[in-house]
Structure 1
Amino acid sequence: MNKGQGFGFGLGKMKELTEAFKKAQQVQEGAKRLQEELENMEIEGQAGGGLVKVYMSGNQEPLSVQITDEALNEGAEVLSDLVKAAMQDAYNKSTATMRERMEELTGGLNLPGL
């Protein structure tokens, strides 16, 4: 007895495709929640042992900067370097967090044929 071969693939493949669509929809819903979560995060970057602290959201949106009096006494050039280093630290932490969360979200997604 021949099994139906509608559209060039059997029912087993159709079930795999249906499951893939369900997983993709779950990922899309999870991505929306993740976007909101990232927007509400506050990630700290710092430099000079805490002389300068920069805060940004999980989406790399700058939120605030804290500069100690000691950092101000270092002079403009050093202060500039400290701010830049703190921004880079916050950015690196933010992108690492985003990457980890995306991997958690999409880790179980196994689309057939990809």
Structure 2
Amino acid sequence: MKARIPKNVNGGGAQNMNQMIKQAQKMQDQITELQEDIEAREFSATAGGGAVEVTITGKKTIKALTLKPEVVDPEDIDMLQDLIISAVNEAISNVENTTESEMSKITGGVSLPGLF
């Protein structure tokens, strides 16, 4: 007597693989759309109680830098430099945190190296 092997012994075979490929393509499309959306956004951060404000794009390019007159002290350039660095770093961190948070919604929290 010959044993009969069910048609879907491997969980659907090619059909299951096609479904996985479609899901992966959909996820890739969502990731691409999100990356474009984030790159088009602006992110702002301040330092020194608002004395320095920086606005960057989602591509991490500085778009605007605003200094309140009271923070410009020729005798303390080091403080001004520190405030600018702090504001820029905070804005970059905002871009990265937003990207990571919104990507995890698409990927289900799975880290996909090289995506962002």
Which of the five TM-score ranges fits, normalised by the shorter chain?
0.7 to 0.9
Q: What pairs with 1:3-82 in structure 2 (closer than 5 Å)? A: 3-4=6-7, 10-73=10-73, 75-82=76-83
Instruction: Specify every segment of 5 or more residues in structure 1 that has no aligned partner in the other structure, as ranges.
Output: 110-114
The answer to which structure, 1 or 2, has the higher relative contact order (CA under 8 A, 6+ apart) is 1
Is the deviation greater in 71-80 or in 88-97?
A: 71-80
Of Structure 1 and Structure 2, the greater helix share is in 1
TM-score (structure 2 length as normaliser): 0.79
For residues 59 and 98 of structure 1, the distance between their equivalents in structure 2, rounded to whole angstroms, comes to 11
Give the conservation status (yes or no) of the 8 Å contact 1:3–1:10: no
Give the conservation status (yes or no) of the 8 Å contact 1:4–1:11: no
Identity of aligned residues (%): 26
For residues 39 and 12 of structure 2, the distance between their equivalents in structure 1, rounded to whole angstroms, comes to 41
**Counterpart position of 1:98:** 99
TM-score (structure 1 length as normaliser): 0.80
SS in 2 for 1:60: coil
Letter paired with 1:81: D
For residues 108 and 15 of structure 1, the distance between their equivalents in structure 2, rounded to whole angstroms, comes to 26
Structure 1 residues 20-48: Cα deviation after superposition (integer angstroms, max 9, x where no partner): 21111111111221122111111011100
Provide the aligned C-alpha RMSD in A.
Answer: 2.2
For residues 29 and 37 of structure 1, the distance between their equivalents in structure 2, rounded to whole angstroms, comes to 12
Count of residue pairs the alignment pairs up: 106
Instruction: Specify every segment of 5 or more residues in structure 2 that has no aligned partner in the other structure, as ranges.
Output: 111-116
